[in-house]
Structure 1
Amino acid sequence: MASINAPLSLQEITEQAANFGYNAHIPLKMWLRSADNMLREAQVYEQEGNDPQTYLLLFRHAELVLDRLAKHPERNLPENKLPLKVARQAVIHNLAKLETIKPRIDRRHAEYVERRRTLRDALETLEAQGQHAATLPQELDGLAVDRHRSTYDRPTLNAEENRSLAAKLAQREVKRRDAARRNVRQAGVSEEEEQERRTAGMWEDWEKGLHRESSEEDTDVSRQLQDVARLQNGHQTPSYSARRSSQSARPATDRPQRPTSVQAPSTYRYPSVPHQSVQEQWTGPDTLRSLQGPMPVRPPKEPFHRPSESSSWPPPPLPPIPPKIPTPTPEFENPRPPPIPPKYADLPAPPPIPGKYFDPTSTSSTRPSSPGGDAEAAYNFSPHAYLENGDALRPVFLPNQLRSAFLASASSNTRLNLETCGILCGILKANALFITRLVIPEQTSTSDTCETVNEQELFDYCDKEELMVLGWIHTHPSQTCFMSSRDLHTHVGYQVMMPESIAIVCAPSKDPSWGVFRLTDPPGKQAILNCRQPGIFHLHDVDNVYTDAIKPGHVVELPNAPLDVIDMRPKRR
């Protein structure tokens, strides 16, 4: 993850973006979900003005879709062709955005390097003169001057020490999203239309058109990869849409036609205002007169009398105008303000209003606001823990009522010694992940396993609600609290999508009764990805495959946090 405060160079950001664990044995649908999560994260960081993290995620998305997934063994399956096409369309749209963000990152890094050079030269000059470094003017300190700070250089807060603030932030964000969805509904936009707008449209009859454009797609993917490579090397490239428009100049017979959901005309002709009536345009004026019959007779004109013919000329004189009588003005109709007494008029001007300051616990309007006007996101939560390889983990806020709510939903299965699983969904805000929704999908269970059914319904719900998948939770009705080999293989798909993903195990009949875990990285994540042992339960050669994610870890329990429980299981009669 790109640093929040340090101005990284474009090369450092692209190196981080390309450095992610990819494994072709993970199903393609999981990688496509990971790509969707990247776009959701990039959208949030873009709204918060974090250019480095936005560029990193968009570049990683392009690298994943155009390079890795284009070679995935499951890419030619019929159910994967449409999602891959939609993902490629998103890359084409984001290439122009990458070119827009790139100059800002280069400019900021160059300014940072220049300030550091100036600071170093000034320190060397002071040391040569025998002066102490403390006499260095503050404006030369490039790291401490507020005027050099970017919009995404915000104060960082400790997640553990600011839990009440995090709860308020989550509550406001959930209310804001709910209000936005209500406004969309009130505007008359259906859920289907909203989803179509969010995904930039879908292809109709795409199965019929895919086989006609396979060769064109291969060429398009190759050109898009070249665009991404040139961006990484610092070369400006013409936008993909510009090349497509130049290609469209070819004759229609020389290129395959894409199926489109809406066939828009090339030019729109506005209706002209007619100079004749509609009936005249069709019949003509002569025909119209014959149809209307003879014109009515014009009435005779009234005779005009000249002054000599009138006996009353000249007219009588007008009566005199009566004199105007002044009306008395009411005493209080337009009162004047009283004069200012001398003792108040001679007072000095009031003192200036003190400057605003940042109080992380305050909810007033004095808090500095973000570029998007969100006063609650005027800060970022600092990384709360780190992977074994040194990568930072963003804090994950876990509602403290989640476990009891899940056990209540799983109680009927627990009494029957059947496992129950749920999906942890949430949002990204201020560089922290908030679990705000517990979704219990349709599933089949045994005493040792739990399999989700109709996963597409779950994915569609997350897309409609703009939620990210942050982990999962399941019960061990009769076993202790641990991660079985099957649990480890299930969780590796989540942690590949997002390093902060967690797995919660509830063992209500044992002590401890619950735990929050993640795979070690390395060696646990790599060991599970490379494991090919058959069977549901088996041992692994690595000892520390997984570890606690809470106390210590990147997970923080959050009192008074918003949480909704959505149960998708069929209702029992």
Structure 2
Amino acid sequence: MASNLPGISTGATPQSVEKITRIAQDYEYNSSIPLRYWLRTAATLIREAAIYEREGHDEQAYLLLFRHAQLVLVHLSKHPDAAKDDKDRKALVAAEKEVQKNLATLERLKPRINKRYERHAQLLRERQSRKLPARPTVVAEPRERVTDPALAGVAEPLEAGENRDLAVRLAQSEITRRATVRRSKGQSGPSSEEGNNRRAAGVWGNWESALDTDKRPADRDLSQRIQDIRTNIDHAQPAKQDQRTRESPAREIPSSAAASAYKYPTVPQQRPLEPSVSPGQIAIRDKNVERHAPPVLPPKEHLEPSRASFVDGSPTSTPPALPSKVPPAPPLPNKVGSLEDPNSMKSDLNPSSYTFKPSAYLENGTPLRSVFLPANLRASFLSLAALNTRRNLETCGILCGTLVSNALFISRLVIPEQMSTSDTCETTNESALFDYCDSEDLMMLGWIHTHPSQTCFMSSRDLHTHCGYQVMLPESIAIVCAPSKDPDWGVFRLTDPPGLKTVLNCTRSGLFHPHAEDNIYTGALRPGHVFEVNGLEFGTVDLRPGSSQS
């Protein structure tokens, strides 16, 4: 899977770009997984990368963006579903456009990563030349941090279980900030020019000819690395095929596809914005500017409100009348940043100042980021499912949320359109679900469903359903609620290995078919990577027809 391998260790020894690109290519790909799931995985990689970059984790952001490029260009372009379904083919073209757009971000991150790596290497060389012992807190990090994802940065890694209250406050602050930014952008809306650029995707409609011009060395260097990935994987193919690849860029996306002729109308340029400011913001800004002292008012006894300022056309020595009571100046508003720039809206809880350590590991040693689950979410879900439960029908919901400080927070319970029986529950109209998540910038972190009359376990049908979620995100969880049994609920994930691969390769049908392996799934709560927390707010949205819940 493209997203379930270790990333770069933040707080650990800095890595070079070359090493990061090698790590980015180290994942499992299975073409039997439907293309739509892989495309959702690709979208998740982009969303995670944007958050990591915003929080200052350049290495992890670079890894995810490069992995996205490699996944899309090397594997998904050859996926069998791309030739079967027109909708999947269009989605794949959109993913390829995303790769082109992200090349600028990769090139922006590269010098920062290398500078940090070179500074660390120089420090090591200086200490070795002076024969000074390396200090563990600065140079040498504990070995276990090297394999932890996204722990390399300036923030001190925190234990999730010991800092639940901090995690809740941090998440609430950041989720609120992001929602404010999203609403602001939604209200203003893109300009007509920007809208046209988005629809036309720059010069993508005629990308073959456009990509032959303006080839910057930096872009060629990056695209050549991506092309080298394809060459290494396709090394068994004849040389003639390599020649055809170079001559026919339509499907293979050769190195010239990364040339800078592609226009980036919607990519931020990372330069200070000069937004229009309100009078209050001007007043705030002027606080930092040296101002002259105001003129001294004359004593009050000389102020005669009824007396004119001019006598016989000549000014008198008496100043103009002043009101008896001057209202105090209104208080200045709190200092805020422009809503156009998410990074400008700072709070006391800055996500870049914290990072949560992985709290569990897959069976293959891959670390899992912590997932924080609102303690009262199950009660809300069971209330929505009560009618179906009384009718002995299953109900399912989607657990959505976001990434903050290298931890995942469930902040939305979405009830999708679905068809239910006493033993199954299947979502329908998945496009509406995906559209909603995309519009709210939400990641799918798992699902929850009821067993109205069965015990709390994962049926074979449940295992196959959850496989699609865990392929997209290794931390994905499945919550089973069995209100009439004891225990009445559980949080589960597939083992890896053997569970995930066993289910992926299973072709048997039937609701309750057996699998060859016994250790197919395991608990994810106590111990595990899931933590129930009080005070973590979440919203509920019911997408079922006729529902007014929101």
Q: Give the TM-score normalised by the residue count of structure 1.
A: 0.67
Asked if 2 retains the 8 angstrom alpha-carbon contact of 1:419 and 1:475, the reply is yes
1:312 corresponding residue in structure 2: none
Residue 504 (str. 1) matches residue 482 (str. 2): no
Higher-Rg structure is 1
Structure-2 separation of matches of 1:426 and 1:440: 14
Deviation of the 1:107 alpha carbon: 2.4
Q: Does residue 65 of structure 2 align to residue 61 of structure 1?
A: no
1:200–1:462 Cα change, 3 Å: farther
151 and 4 in structure 1: CA distance in 2 versus 1, 3 angstrom threshold: closer
Q: Specify the alignment match of 1:531 in structure 2.
A: 506
Unaligned residue ranges in structure 1 (runs of 5+): 127-132, 145-149, 246-259, 261-321, 330-369
What is the match of residue 44 of structure 1? 51
Q: Which amino acid aligns with 1:172?
A: S
Structure 1 match to 2:87? 79
Counterpart of 2:9?
3
Secondary structure of the residue that 1:183 maps to in structure 2? helix
Q: Match of 1:568?
A: 543
Structure 1 contact 119–141 (Cα < 8 Å) conserved: no
Are residue 228 (structure 1) and residue 236 (structure 2) matched?
A: no
Q: Which residue of 2 aligns with 1:240?
A: 258
Shift of 1:230: 5.5
Q: Which amino acid aligns with 1:26?
A: I
Q: 1:213 to 1:455 in 2, by over 3 A?
A: same
State which of 199, 202, 213 in structure 2 corresponds to 1:202. Answer: 199
Closer, same or farther: CA 177–244 of 1 in aligned 2, 3 Å: closer
> CA RMSD of the aligned region, Å?
3.8
Kept in 2: contact 1:396–1:434 (CA 8 A): yes
- Pairwise CA distance, 1:466: 0.5
For 1:184 and 1:382, the matched residues in 2 are separated by 33
Does 2:446 align with 1:471?
yes
Asked if the contact 2:11–2:157 (Cα under 8 Å) also holds between the matched residues in 1, the reply is: no
Which of 74, 83, 88 is 2:96 aligned to? 88
Q: State whether residues 177 and 345 of structure 2, in contact with CA within 8 Å, keep that contact through their aligned partners in structure 1.
A: no
Classify 1:184/1:94 alpha carbon distance in 2 versus 1 (closer, same or farther; 3 Å): closer
Q: Provide the rounded CA distance (Å) in 2 between the counterparts of 1:38 and 1:9.
A: 21
Offset of residue 201 of structure 1: 2.3
Does the Cα contact within 8 Å between 1:55 and 1:101 map onto a contact in 2? yes
Task: State the alpha-carbon separation in 2 of the partners of residues 380 and 198 from structure 1.
Answer: 36
Which of the residues 396, 402, 405 maps onto 1:421? 396
Give me the whole-angstrom Cα distance separating, in 2, the residues matched to 1:199 and 1:382.
Answer: 43
Residue 143 of structure 1, CA deviation: 5.3
Contiguous gaps of at least 5 residues in structure 2: 1-6, 142-150, 212-219, 232-254, 266-311, 320-342
Paired residues of 1:479 and 1:507 also in contact (CA < 8 A): yes
3-state DSSP of counterpart to 2:397: strand
SS of structure 1 residue aligned to 2:384: helix
The residue identity in structure 1 corresponding to 2:499 is G
> Does the residue aligned with 2:378 lie in a helix, a strand or coil?
helix
Distance 1:106 1:564, change over 3 A: same
Q: Offset at 1:174?
A: 2.6
Structure 1 partner of 2:155: 154
- For residues 88-124 of structure 1, the C-alpha deviation after alignment (integer angstroms, 9 at most, x for no partner) is 11101112221222222222222223323433454xx
Taking a change above 3 Å as real, the CA distance of residues 427 and 213 of structure 1, as seen in their structure-2 partners, is: closer
1:176 aligns with 2:191: no
Q: Which amino acid aligns with 1:387?
A: L
Match of 1:101 among 103, 109, 113: 109
Aligned length: 427
Shift of 1:4: 1.3
- Partner amino acid for 2:390? R
Q: Which residue of 1 aligns with 2:529?
A: 554
Find the residue that maps to 1:75 and give its secondary structure: helix
1:13, CA displacement in angstroms? 1.7
Q: Is the 8 Å Cα contact of residues 115 and 141 (structure 1) preserved in structure 2?
A: no
**CA–CA separation in structure 2 for the residues paired with 1:431 and 1:325:** 72
1:118-517 equivalences in 2 (<5 Å): 118-122=126-130, 125=131, 142=139, 152-187=153-188, 189=189, 201-202=198-199, 226-229=224-227, 240-242=258-260, 373=346, 375-376=348-349, 377=351, 378-517=353-492
Structure 2 vs 1, CA of residues 232 and 383 (structure 1 numbering), >3 Å: closer, same or farther?
farther
1:232–1:447 CA distance, 2 compared to 1 (3 A): closer
In structure 1, the residue matched to 2:121 is 113
Report deviation, 1:178. Answer: 2.8
Partner-residue secondary structure (3-state), 1:201: helix
8 Å CA contact 1:67–1:225 kept in 2: the answer is: no
What is the Cα deviation at residue 168 of structure 1?
1.1
| Pairwise CA distance, 1:170 | 1.9
Preserved CA contact (<8 Å) 1:119 1:142: no
Aligned residue for 1:314? none
Distance 1:172 1:101 in 2: 27
